[in-house]
Structure 1
Amino acid sequence: MTPSTPELPASELAVTLDWRGRTAVLAVAGEIDLVSAPEFGEVVDVVLAREPEKLVVDLRAVTFFCSAGLQVLAAAHRRLAEHSLRVVSDSAVTSGPLRTTGLDTWIGVHTTVGEALE
């Protein structure tokens, strides 16, 4: 992982964190699989510990996304206020599993970060 802030845990994922006021925008690149999902979860935990009003997770650069990644998003959704978790996805790799499992009914899925921030 290439953290933008030193407090993010190290991982094989490329992750950047950008704060837009009280909204955290977490951009993730690489594969979220059984090996990297726990590390993805750690990163999300670190961000949530800073109590953002909203969390936008940009998955457009994710090339593989398994159920373990969905579990990380579901856990983050449970920790945030309703409609506070938003996912950015422009491919079936990440938006497909969200739709198939029905998580997209609880987690907003957007095609751009700008749209997710609105």
Structure 2
Amino acid sequence: MTSSSRDFPALELVVTLEWRGKAAVLRVAGEIDLLSAPEFEEAVDTVLAEGPEVVVVDLRAVTFFCSAGLQVLASAQRGLAERALRVVSDSAVTTGPLKTTGLDTWIGIHATVDEALRP
């Protein structure tokens, strides 16, 4: 019997930051899993250290979202004023876990970034 190995391309997490006045908009693409959650958490923590009034996390390009990602959002929510963390989601991949865990009662879910930025 012979064995062979094969390299599979790693799916990367891409996080970009855009400031709109005193609001930080984080656009996230890729998978948020146990391996990438620390990178996601670091990006969120870096933004929180800047002291934004509102943080919008755009998850529309996220293809996998596990409990580690939920924990990052829950932790961020605790560091902000009520309803200052807003999520943009248009798929069951990200909206489902937020609703199943009840985080959607603390974190507003919006269809677009512009909608999330409205007072």
Q: Return the TM-score normalized by structure 1.
A: 0.90
- Once the two structures are superposed, residues 52-95 of structure 1 have per-residue CA deviations (whole angstroms, 9 ceiling, x without a partner) of 00000000000000000000000000000001000000000000
> Which residue pairs with 2:99 in the alignment?
99
For 1:68 and 1:13, locate their aligned partners in 2 and report how far apart those are by CA, in whole Å.
14
Alignment of 1:42 with 2:42, yes or no, is yes
User: Unpaired runs of 5+ in structure 1?
Assistant: 1-11
For 2:53 and 2:34, locate their aligned partners in 1 and report how far apart those are by CA, in whole Å.
29
> Which residue pairs with 1:3 in the alignment?
none
Displacement of 1:13 in angstroms is 1.1
Structure 1 residue ranges (4+ consecutive) displaced by more than 6 angstroms after TM superposition? none
> Which residue pairs with 1:87 in the alignment?
87
Q: Return the TM-score normalized by structure 2.
A: 0.89
Rg: which structure is higher?
2
> Which residue pairs with 1:4 in the alignment?
none
The total of aligned residue pairs comes to: 107
User: Unpaired runs of 5+ in structure 2?
Assistant: 1-11
For 1:47 and 1:13, locate their aligned partners in 2 and report how far apart those are by CA, in whole Å.
17
For 1:82 and 1:62, locate their aligned partners in 2 and report how far apart those are by CA, in whole Å.
25
> Which residue pairs with 2:7 in the alignment?
none
Question: Superposition RMSD on alpha carbons, in Å?
Answer: 0.5
For 1:65 and 1:105, locate their aligned partners in 2 and report how far apart those are by CA, in whole Å.
18
Displacement of 1:15 in angstroms is 1.1
Secondary structure class of the residue paired with 1:52: coil
For 2:62 and 2:15, locate their aligned partners in 1 and report how far apart those are by CA, in whole Å.
10
